[in-house]
Amino acid sequence: MSRPSQNYLDKVEKWLMGGLTLDRMAMTLDQKFRAKLVYEAYQVWLQDKQIRPTDLMRRLAAREYPILLQKASEGDEAALEVVRLLNIREGVPRSFTEISNDVSVFNWIVGRFDTGIEHIEKAKVVDASDWLIREGMKMGDVRAVKSGADIKMQLNNNFNEKEDAASKMPTTEINITGDVSIIKSDRVNYTPEERKRLAKRFNLSDKEFTDMIQNEDGTWEMPAEDTEKEFTPDVFDPTQEQRPL
């Protein structure tokens, strides 16, 4: 396959964003093979962005080629077609040109979809992981099965329980440090030094100044003397002293 064309990249984008599985895409078998391989590489890259794409693509191809050759030897028509189109031969690794083309598609995906896997349709990844597990189990290929399982783990966030949404809410608690006093809303919480200084200014004692109320206009006044509240007897409480009317 020659260097990826824009038409092929458009198909890859449609696969990633259109909600269709790879089997239903209008691609040749070798195009589907490359798309699956490159997208798996992208998932690995999301977890480790220091990895070299060329090395990664080479390892993935080295894993997939024996599976395709084995299936082709068993008469699987799809595998036979992929082997023919990609000219896969036993003991011959993926060529430099093919790896370079794979990396080109990989780089395009990175530039187009450099987001977490939760933002991309999971159906496509599930399709790839199911294929790896299914074919790996048939072939007894532990690495293929593990790769498919790893992708599923990534999709499900390693099966961690969802965080409590309330735990993500900003806290409404006020962290208080130092020695503070509880005050009413109509009083200012001055430090002891400030209270003494202002009390001296108004010729008041510390307690008298503390009890002063600041009005909205900035003026100060002493609180009104408390008057005896009107007694309202509780007729349902036999223990309460009843006052005569």
Does 89 score more than 80 pLDDT? yes
For the stretch 156-214, pLDDT in tens is 765 555 555 445 444 444 444 444 444 444 455 567 777 777 777 767 776 666 666 55
From the list 102, 90, 99, 92, the residue with the least C-alpha distance to 39 is 102
pLDDT of residue 193: 77
- Tokens coding 239: 């223990």
The most confident of 26-35, 149-158, 200-209, 236-245, by mean pLDDT: 26-35
What confidence category does residue 138 fall into, taking pLDDT thresholds of 50, 70 and 90?
A: confident
Which of 65-69, 84-88, 240-244 is predicted with the least confidence, judged by mean pLDDT?
240-244
pLDDT of residue 228: 52
State what percent of residues in the chain have pLDDT above 70. 60
pTM for the complete prediction?
Answer: 0.44
From the list 19, 56, 15, the residue with the least C-alpha distance to 36 is 15
